[in-house]
Chains A and B, each alone.
Chain A
């Protein structure tokens, strides 16, 4: 039995590394069946949206893709896009491995996905080619490229920026040509995709914490004996934990590397970050009306509990 995994992340990304390191060798002979994992990172099997569809159909076994691409299947995932929701990666994973997980797993299952694990994509930070950004005011009138995601767009509009929705395929050329002043991404992306070549300033805003969903096709999984399902789930769990470890250490490495390359990194003080957080309050209200007050409040309460407040 060949288990094919698809992803949009490149072979060097922490997610692909962890899959190769843990998941691929972990599955051999289980319950008399021979398993072989084939990993296809770097959009080899199509766009992120298409890979998700292939997983849902059972054309491939599974995928590890940014959670944002699942929003249209499970609206509640939108809460993960709320700005400044998570104070730290530790809190984020305590929440995502805890009470929130069961609800999401159930909703994903109804859409044809078995949730295997939640990996770290990372905190996103704002970069630009004009000036250091320390307050929301600095973003006023600055054009920032965002993913065409309504919550992301709304957040930056609320902060006063000129939010520009550009397709990912146009991002690098657009930065090079200065079609936009800035963009926002995790340190790993800023480094690996050489965004530092056109952007001099980065602010440690950590405004969104993005995660990767590691999912399998529910149809394919349900077709395996329980023993096999358990073995796959265990291997996936180990892979997820390893990925978080690599991602956390690489995040720091990429940040250091960017500083070495001459990017000016602005760290926000607690007071400065609080200004940003207050400014985006209207976005929370909007999210409540969009995906349900009860769910959003429960989600935020879980974050508060995990943060020990």
Chain B
């Protein structure tokens, strides 16, 4: 049954039916095949978006809209440009840096992607080109769930007894930094090859100080939001709401470029983008439900056990299977369905639970960028109006890097396990 549903979804989607609707139609068909009531589609749709953490999406999106409309984001870009505009592809490097910064505040790739896109897409796309800008943003946003804090890791640890949230957080640090650095190197090579334009004037102390002063209110935003979350003032979702209030205050009273008349437009744009993402999550929920009822995870596990009892072969096979899962499933669905089945199975094969956990999470996180079902692809494509095909083409080197780091962690466990071992 699971296979038929996937096939049907792909066929419908290729005809140009919006993805949310294609998911919904495939879901309806699956319910008919499974002889289940059709109303489940409605039920799953509502309950899957009835979630507090998901509200980080509209909040960070709105904060970004306000920053753009308030002209305050221009100040940040100007400042970054002063700093590394004399490096080829400098603005793309700024994006990776911003992604790593965001990742250290937020736990979710989608929230990071919306924030980075609303803040950086227009300037980066203007300097280079749309698909490249969108790809760098999507790949940088993917650091969100790899560098701590990470919602995905919290979910994983609660599903797998024997894996602590803190150790898993620490296990993500080195792989996350590796991905960041490799992305910067790749961008430098691409910038050199394509001869991307220089975007800044020569750096002088006066320019630096003036730029810093102008950008200060904007630079304080991450300090307040990051500081507030790390310091325990508020949760990550609440941090999104605080970012909105801060951008509003700065835009209205500090830069004074934001007008009350701009607010409805900002609220509306962020609401519509939220809806497009929310509805995809809503209709994917029925498909996940059908996979669960169809016992897909258990059948995968049986399949694996029939093949081998070697630890390494098992791990390699698992990573291959999870790569495919990551292509088709929304990660939260995959965690909920697969962790309870596969984590004990991995232990049976003698795999360190923490090692398996980080590999699993990395795999699902890269899956956010891989077609046909890649939540980050949908989000960034919806916000930037860059087509998914073009986005994927520019993303290929970055997807390669992220899978590469995952494989490095597979064969060199200390990359992931050394830091948590040191700190425990």
Contact = CB atoms under 8 A, between A and B. Distances in A.
Classify A-B as touching or not with yes or no (CB < 8 A).
Answer: yes
Interface of A: 4, 10-12, 38, 40-47, 49-50, 53-54, 57, 59, 166-167, 169-170, 172-174, 176-179, 192-194, 197
Q: Nearest 7 pairs between A and B by C-beta?
A: A178-B232, A167-B52, A50-B47, A177-B232, A170-B235, A44-B292, A179-B232
Given A57-B39, A179-B235, A194-B164, A170 B52 contact: yes
Contact of B336 (A44, A53, A167, A194): A44
18 contacts: A38-B295, A45-B289, A46-B43, A47-B50, A50-B43, A50-B44, A57-B43, A169-B51, A169-B52, A169-B53, A170-B237, A173-B107, A173-B235, A173-B236, A176-B165, A177-B231, A179-B235, A197-B165
A44 B47 CA distance: 13
B47 A46 contact: yes
A9 B415 CA distance: 34
B286 to A, nearest CB: 10
Interface in B145-186: 149, 151, 154, 157-159, 161, 164-166
A42 B235 contact: no
Given A166-B235, A178-B232, A197-B164, A42 B159 contact: yes
Contacts of A193: 158
Contacts of A11: 340
A193 B165 CA distance: 9
A41 B229 CA distance: 32
A41 B297 CA distance: 14
B157 A57 contact: no
Contacts of A172: 154, 158, 165
Contacts of A174: 235
A226 B285 CA distance: 36
Contacts of B149: 173, 176
A179 B230 CA distance: 9
A12 to B, nearest CB: 6
Contacts of B161: 10, 12, 192
Interface of B: 36-37, 39-40, 43-44, 47-48, 50-53, 107, 149, 151, 154, 157-159, 161, 164-166, 229-237, 285, 289, 292-293, 295, 336-337, 340
A193 B150 CA distance: 16
B159 A49 contact: no
B233 A179 contact: yes
Given A46-B44, A193-B158, A179 B234 contact: yes
Given A172-B165, A179-B235, A43 B53 contact: no
B158 A46 contact: no
Nearest to A51: B47
Given A177-B229, A179-B234, A59 B158 contact: no
A38 B165 CA distance: 30
Given A53-B43, A57-B37, A172-B158, 9 more contacts: A10-B161, A41-B340, A47-B47, A54-B40, A57-B39, A57-B43, A167-B53, A170-B53, A179-B234
Given A42-B340, A47-B47, A177-B230, A10 B235 contact: no
A166 B232 CA distance: 14
Nearest to B160: A10
A266 B380 CA distance: 51
Nearest to A179: B232
Contacts of B166: 176, 197
Contacts of A57: 37, 39, 43
A10 B44 CA distance: 20
A47 B52 CA distance: 12
Nearest to A60: B293
Nearest to B155: A169
A197 B424 CA distance: 12
Contact of A177 (B43, B235, B292): B235
Nearest to A193: B158
Nearest to A177: B232
B235 A45 contact: no
A7 to B, nearest CB: 12
A44 to B, nearest CB: 5
A186 B158 CA distance: 16
Contacts of B47: 46-47, 49-50
A169 B336 CA distance: 14
Contact of A40 (B151, B285, B292): B292
A59 B36 contact: yes
B12 to A, nearest CB: 24
Nearest to B53: A169
Contacts of A4: 293
Given A10-B159, A169-B53, A179-B233, A42 B165 contact: no
Contacts of A49: 47
A12 B230 CA distance: 32
The interface centre, meaning the residue of B50, B161, B164, B229 with most chain A CB atoms within 10 A of its CB, is B161
A43 B232 contact: no
Nearest to A38: B295
Contacts of B159: 10, 42
A194 B229 contact: no
The interface centre, meaning the residue of B39, B51, B107, B340 with most chain A CB atoms within 10 A of its CB, is B340
B186 to A, nearest CB: 32
Contacts of A197: 164-166
B147 to A, nearest CB: 15
B354 to A, nearest CB: 13
Nearest to A174: B235
Nearest to B157: A194
B224 to A, nearest CB: 15
A170 to B, nearest CB: 5
